[in-house]
Structure 1
Amino acid sequence: MTSLALDSRLATVCPATVAEEATLAALLRCCVREVAGPRGQVWHAEPYVLLRVADTLLRVRTHGGLALRIDGRPEWLDRGSWQLLNADRLVGLVETELGGTNEEFATQVGASRDAMAALLTARRETPAPTDPWLASEQRLVFGHPFHPSPKARDGADWLRYAPEAHASFPLRLLGVRDDVLAEAGETGSLDELGQAPEGYSTLPAHPWQLDLLAAELAAPLADGRLVDLGYGSRPAVPTSSVRTVYEPRIDRCLKFSLDVRITNCVRKNSWYELIGAVELTRRLGPVFEDLSAAFPGTRWLTEPGYRSADLGTRLLEGLGVIIRASPWSVCRPGVTPLLSGALAVPGDPPADPVRWWRAYVERVAPPVLEAYLSHGVVLEPHLQNVLVGVDATGLPVEAIFRDLEGTKLVAGRHDLSGLPGRVVEALTYDPVSGWDRVVYCLMVNHLAEIAASLAGHGSVRELWAIAGEVLTGYAGSRQWPRPLADLLAGAPLPAKANLSVRWARSADRWAGYVPVTNPLAVLS
């Protein structure tokens, strides 16, 4: 599945216009899901969806089912006449409806819109990577479709490091004196990036982060605990998360801290996450052996080591880098990894969409469910954490799961004695929270978006019927465990409340869910 049609449109339409449309669509989706929907203020009147926000009636044409794709321009009812709606007016309605004060909200929405326009302009000037995997990583211009400010980013220099702008840049290299070196696991690949002086080890750093940490780095650079080794010899390529890059010299992905807010979170590697990545890599090896035996084509990207400098918590976390396997290193020959999020971008469908979709669901869904039910492991299979390996015909044949920060263990099913309490807290979910996370990421964030893109303006019902067949077959093989039986019976699905989190200015880990209609319900 490709996105040539979208690329063609983006090349001809004014970036500001496209950014306004995308911003309005995302905020409107949030209103349906989190504002009007829970208040019973959403109605279907074909061909429109109508909703009421702050006593104002809005209408919009949609398709895509749960994914709520927008057709044409939304409108609002003004003294009996329908007028075109814009993002600024909708922001004002949301502010009135939600009450209270959040002086940041309108600024964040506007900054996200401006960022989209800047990204669209930059993409016209810089070609995409020739590597199909890296090109897919850099396709997410509009971000999360149900987030009020999906491209809001702190910092003045963000565009030069943005994957969506087809950025690439050499890493900065530091030498860490051996007496302040902090590391665990397998880190030897980092030494191949540059030659450190005797008594030092090489530590790659994101150049943006070094600028952000300049004041804190002055003292250790002056007294020799750190030395500046200059820039790496080859450009690294940022992947979809912004802070994780692919370093071609060592064929590894490197996950850095960035002390900037990207959508909901300041993106740093907390000390307990550095430890947790290595611990989970050790524990999940046998789990993925079982999963790949039961579901051929299941892959994962290990995070076998981290390195940093023991210079207090601020620099330990700020300079911490997690080493991750690259997708090319785990796919079998002839298979091309592609980011699932890029496949959710509207584009040209495959020649046989039904066959493609069945293969896709078979690759992605059963391993995620099996990990939870049989192994007590909560994978986080949202669109940026899954890569799908396609064969020479474009058919999905592998699923590659990544990013152990979001992977958790179900509390009570694993012996975590001996680990620091904060590490245990970061590594675990209770069973209910774990299942909610699995179902949200898999069904709402992931499969619903892929189905909408695959169906285009047609009905997604046939695709969900096929997904139901795949999941029913898996449920039968597991003797119909209760959570899976409820899911297939049509129980409402949990959808993450991103608007509520941004409005409350809460940490992302406190994000709640709102119930949404299960597309399998009409099939049961």
Structure 2
Amino acid sequence: MDRHPMADAEAALGAELGVVRPDLTLPYTIALPGARAAVLTRLWRGLVHEPLPWVVRRDAAGGDRVTLHLADGRRLHGPAVDPYSTAAQVEEVWFDERPYARPARLMAALAVPHSAAFAAELDHSAASLALSRAGRRTATASPVASWEWEQRIVDGHPFHPNCRARPGFSATDQLAYGPEHRQVVRLGLAPVDEALVVGEWPQWLRDGGRVLVPVHPWQAAHVLKCPLGEVIEAHPLMSLRTLALPDGGPHVKTALSARLTSSVRDISVYSIETSAVVSDFMTEVAARTDGLLHVTRTLGAVTAGSPDLAAVLRESPETYADTVSGERVVPVAALSTTGLPRSPSWLADFTRLALTVCLRLLDLGVALEAHGQNLLVVLSPSGAPRRLVYRDLADIRVSPARLARHGVPAPAMTGRIITDDETTLRRKLFGALITGTLGATAGSTPVLGEALSTAVRDLPRSPDLDTLLEGPVPTKALTLMRLSPERPGDIWAQVPSPLR
């Protein structure tokens, strides 16, 4: 039976808490069962819906159960999974006639290629999630700045089994740097004699002829292995490596060479080299949305020639909200904390706004990766969704052929951002927007289906919209990607359309 008190990562974090924060030891222990179930829920969703090569058949049983038949004859049994649900909780999955409540132990028992390494990540994800929940504070007032909204997000990615995996981060590191713990982070300023600078790098980040590169303290200690030196204070955002400078200042994206969810969060030289071109291009394209979309412009970017030592400065999302009149800028991932999506009319209005903007840009030739972290919504004082703000342009896709049809010059660049492949463009947008933004905000297939049905009545028909309406919907195969380290880049699954 899967009943052992604590797994390795859980025990290690618990032991460290006993030294550095003994007041959190009991809340952490109490939070562990719920954290395991949250990670197991995300893992089971992936096992049920992703094209895993060792699953040969899936059978529904009575409408509320599903059986997975493995290539070697073994079977997995568990509850049916709504691919858009954020509320359902899977407490137990049966494998080879044994119940498993631990995602890491289930993955280890499956013994498929690369399952041991993934099991360790799942173990860490559950432990870290329990720590995040144990350290959460009761909100006493409505947030003002967008970074305050981000720090309300405790559980991380709504669908990724590694929703809180932070390998290499001790309990002390997580308590110091995790946005959900609401600490101020002291960024080091590393002087670099020979750096590639793109855009305008501010004078206060220079020392004579040298450029000062903001460095995350974890990066300084574990990768660069250097003291912080001169420091600046900043508020960590949900991506962990991006932070908001005080008093409405710009956001600074730092290199963080740790694997969080799926990716190592360093900053490629390519993204620095192309940052100004992409920012200027997207500012011009956003101007074609009649004020419904703004992008946070890249102010400056710098690299010392290594993805481990680089930084990007970009505008704060508050730049595009009239905060004096009471407008608020809320990351989509934090909308569930507002209670607004519980209103069907509000959700339909937000869905209509998001689809209108994103489909218009896709028709022009730009596919946004519009998930809950990159996309923010400007709310009126009464909470109505007025317009969108998009940040972090590193992973958009741009189609020169589509741009040419509208007489829009393509940006003067090459590389992974540029593609005319229709499937790639639609996957990039719909894989983030429908599941990661609208699905996670709605929280279930029926609610999402109703919002989409209402919203699409007002949208002009197009081949892109027809593709979405006909379904199925592309979504990243997050579990398969972690079990396929030999395959770089995204791997895709398909989930049923909420409209069918």
Q: Quick check: TM above 0.5?
A: yes
Note if 1:161 corresponds to 2:177: yes
2: CA distance between counterparts of 1:132 and 1:304? 20
Contact kept in structure 2, 1:58 and 1:74, CA below 8 Å: no
Note if 1:341 corresponds to 2:328: no
Note if 1:438 corresponds to 2:399: no
Q: Select 1:470's aligned residue among 455, 475, 481.
A: 455
Q: Which amino acid letter does the alignment assign opposite residue 339 of structure 1?
A: P
1: CA distance between counterparts of 2:375 and 2:211? 32
Q: Select 2:239's aligned residue among 234, 238, 241.
A: 241
Q: Select 2:316's aligned residue among 322, 326, 350.
A: 326
Is 322-331 or 335-344 further displaced after alignment?
A: 335-344
Q: Select 1:45's aligned residue among 36, 57, 62.
A: 62
Q: 1:65 to 1:78 in 2, by over 3 A?
A: closer
Partner of 1:224: none
Partner SS for 2:243: strand
Contact kept in structure 2, 1:32 and 1:42, CA below 8 Å: no
Deviation at 1:169, TM superposition (A): 1.3
Contact kept in structure 1, 2:37 and 2:89, CA below 8 Å: no
| 1:58-83 residue CA offsets vs partner (Å, 9 max, x unmatched) | 23376x6633642463353876xx95
Aligned pairs for 1:77-92 (under 5 A) are 85-92=101-108
TM-score for both structures, normalised by structure 1: 0.79
Q: Which amino acid letter does the alignment assign opposite residue 56 of structure 1?
A: R
1: CA distance between counterparts of 2:166 and 2:140? 23
Partner of 2:231: 231
Contact kept in structure 2, 1:49 and 1:59, CA below 8 Å: yes
Q: Select 2:480's aligned residue among 494, 497, 500.
A: 500
Partner of 2:293: 298
2: CA distance between counterparts of 1:446 and 1:300? 17
Q: Select 1:192's aligned residue among 180, 204, 212.
A: 204
Supply the RMSD in Å over aligned alpha carbons: 3.2
Q: Select 2:153's aligned residue among 113, 125, 140.
A: 140
Contact kept in structure 1, 2:332 and 2:372, CA below 8 Å: yes
Q: Which amino acid letter does the alignment assign opposite residue 254 of structure 1?
A: V
1: CA distance between counterparts of 2:383 and 2:263? 35
Q: Which amino acid letter does the alignment assign opposite residue 231 of structure 1?
A: V
**Which is helix-richer, 1 or 2?**
1
Q: 1:212 to 1:412 in 2, by over 3 A?
A: farther
Percent of pairs identical after alignment? 23
2: CA distance between counterparts of 1:418 and 1:84? 53
2: CA distance between counterparts of 1:163 and 1:121? 14
2: CA distance between counterparts of 1:463 and 1:496? 18
Q: Select 2:367's aligned residue among 358, 361, 378.
A: 378
Q: Which amino acid letter does the alignment assign opposite residue 33 of structure 2?
A: T
Structure 1: gaps of 5 or more residues = 1-9, 219-227
Deviation at 1:148, TM superposition (A): 2.7
| 1:404-449 residue CA offsets vs partner (Å, 9 max, x unmatched) | 0111211544666864xxx533444623201111111111222111
| 1:434-485 residue CA offsets vs partner (Å, 9 max, x unmatched) | 1111111111222111111xx7xxxx5365234223224212xxxx322322
Q: 1:327 to 1:304 in 2, by over 3 A?
A: same
Deviation at 1:11, TM superposition (A): 7.6
| 1:3-36 residue CA offsets vs partner (Å, 9 max, x unmatched) | xxxxxxx989812122111111111111111268
1: CA distance between counterparts of 2:76 and 2:309? 50
Q: 1:173 to 1:462 in 2, by over 3 A?
A: closer
Deviation at 1:500, TM superposition (A): 0.9
Deviation at 1:380, TM superposition (A): 0.7
1: CA distance between counterparts of 2:366 and 2:441? 24
Partner of 1:398: 387
Partner of 1:221: none
2: CA distance between counterparts of 1:125 and 1:289? 40
1: CA distance between counterparts of 2:58 and 2:436? 23
Structure 2: gaps of 5 or more residues = 1-25, 404-408
Q: Which amino acid letter does the alignment assign opposite residue 58 of structure 1?
A: H
Partner SS for 2:271: helix
Deviation at 1:143, TM superposition (A): 2.5
Deviation at 1:368, TM superposition (A): 0.6
Partner SS for 1:145: coil
